[in-house]
A = this chain, B = another copy of it.
Amino acid sequence: MRLDHLAIAVPDLDAALAFYRDGLGLTCARVEDVEREGVRIAFLPVGESEIELLQPTRQDTGIVKWLAKHGPGMHHVCLEVGDIQAAMARIQRAGGEMINPEPVRRPEGTLYAFVHPRSTGGVLIELYQRPPQP
């Protein structure tokens, strides 16, 4: 298992980059607009992990409601697993509660599913399985 990324929700991506890039000295590998999720994401590698800064780009998304309720902060932590079905089954055997009852497939082939913060000590955890490499 590997800590894939930490996702930090912010209202202003440029202000956040002033800290993470200029202040911490991380490299911003790329900035992506993910239209279907209504977010602009800056990806900053840190060792084998990444920090992702998420800024909403539409007003009708969950991340906007989350920001209005919590203010800026850690939105979720993503762990890469080898076999997401096996990981989900193990969590459920241990009494953990999945938000997604089945893995969801992103267009590029990644499978993901979120664990409810009730089960994790208050942290929204994403499980993530990469697509098989060709």
Main secondary structure of the interface of A (DSSP, over half): mixed
Asked if A25 contacts B3 (CB within 8 A), the reply is no
Asked if B8 contacts A121 (CB within 8 A), the reply is yes
Q: How many residues of chain A have a CB within 8 Å of chain B?
A: 42
Residue of B nearest to A22 (CB): B94
14 contacts between A and B (CB under 8 A): A3-B6, A3-B46, A3-B49, A6-B6, A8-B122, A9-B122, A10-B121, A16-B120, A19-B94, A19-B119, A20-B120, A23-B90, A23-B91, A53-B121
* A residues with CB within 8 A of B: 1-3, 6, 8-10, 15-16, 18-20, 22-26, 46-49, 53, 70-74, 77, 79, 87, 90-91, 93-96, 117, 119-123
